[in-house]
Amino acid sequence: MNNIDRRKWLKLGFGLTAGAIGSAFTISKITDTNDNCKLTPILELGPYPVMKYRNQADHDIDLTTIKGNEGIAKGKQLLLSGIVSDENCKPIQGAVVEIWQANHFGKYHHEFDNKGEEDPNFQGWGQAITNEKGEYKFKTIVPGLYAKRTRHIHFKISKRGFHELTTQLYFDGEDRNKTDGILNNFPHEDQQQIIRPMVADGDINKIEFNITIDKVKEGTISEKVLKEYVAKYEMQSKNEDFTFEKMVKYATGQDYKKIILEIKNEGNQLYMILSFSPKTELGWFAKDEFQSWAFYNSFIRFQRNTAGKVISLHLHLSEEQFFTGIKK
């Protein structure tokens, strides 16, 4: 598998209504230029992207309170802000920025996370829309620790005409940064883009995290070609010791039978949809081959019959390990 400069190919293995910018709190002047607007490294979605609670009524930019509750989320409050721009440092207006994270006790607001203590006043995730200056902001709390991971906050940024980005923000000075398996699969230069300092300002802490996303290149692959792959594929496994169902249970703790992987297109972009994971962009690599960096750094190769029709796909975790999906 060849590397693509834009995307970082990781060998980690498996296992691992939007709120507009308002006036509730202000964004300080951004001093970090995100290393001259270098593209922000892509990190995987992880096991707890928002699924069941995507339709919760309160998913605004203040994660420390929930509408209808009088309490405030436990933990140190954090004002998280930044600018979303393109590679030329041009601010991007109207980008949807989504974050999700563990609460003060290290538990996610997610049906798959059955360990740790719930915080009934912690929203768990939220969405913001960048303003005309490309700015976004959230009010949240410093996430708690869990398992062997260091502190981090998940991000997903989307804007029509740009590649979807999933990444993670890390906290400077954390002891676990030295041993976190996901963070340390990145070279030092990339780590410096996603590790940011937290500054105390009275009763609230602040972090500035600027993000750079890249435009979809015109004419890379046509919508007509993409439609050849659009279908529902039933996942199968020849090796009973390494089935797709077992892999999913390992990641989510949930039992799934007859898992369907759906491929859709939106214009010149292809997406993968599974019942336990959010819609994920597939990036074109070569004929019949696409990469999905957010979905556990996997890639898909479509298979054709002798007549040239797409009949199945292989979802690869590596060159040697893959699962087969039969077109329905």
Q: Looking at residue 14, what is its pLDDT?
A: 33
Q: Looking at residue 220, what is its pLDDT?
A: 67
| Statement: the pTM of the whole predicted model exceeds 0.85 | no
Closest CA to 82 of 157, 32, 140: 32
Output the six-digit token pair for 131. 């303003």
Q: Looking at residue 40, what is its pLDDT?
A: 95
CA distance 295 to 293: 6
Q: In three state form, how does the secondary structure of 16-82 look?
A: CCCEECCCCCCCCCCCCCHHHHCCCCCCCCCCCCCCCCCCCCCCCCECCCCCCCCCCCCCCEEEEEE
Q: Looking at residue 20, what is its pLDDT?
A: 35
Q: Identify whether the C-beta of residue 314 lies closer than 8 Å to the C-beta of residue 322.
A: yes
Q: Looking at residue 228, what is its pLDDT?
A: 95
In DSSP terms, 17 is beta-bridged to none
Q: Identify whether the C-beta of residue 181 lies closer than 8 Å to the C-beta of residue 56.
A: no
Q: Looking at residue 158, what is its pLDDT?
A: 92
With the CA atoms of 25, 26, 32 and 34 taken in that order, what torsion angle do they form, in degrees rounded to the nearest 10?
70
Tens digits of per-residue pLDDT, 184-194? 989 999 999 99
Spell out, as residue ranges, where the chain has pLDDT lower than 50. Answer: 1-34
Is the sign of the CA dihedral 249, 264, 220, 35 positive or negative? negative
Tens digits of per-residue pLDDT, 206-258? 999 999 999 887 656 888 899 999 999 999 866 677 788 888 877 777 788 88
CA distance 222 to 198: 44
Q: Identify whether the C-beta of residue 229 lies closer than 8 Å to the C-beta of residue 302.
A: yes
Phi, psi (rounded to 5 degrees) for 126: -165, 170
Please name each of the domains of the chain with its CATH number.
Answer: 19-212 (2.60.130.10), 223-327 (2.40.128)
Closest CA to 165 of 216, 219, 110: 216
Q: Looking at residue 53, what is its pLDDT?
A: 58
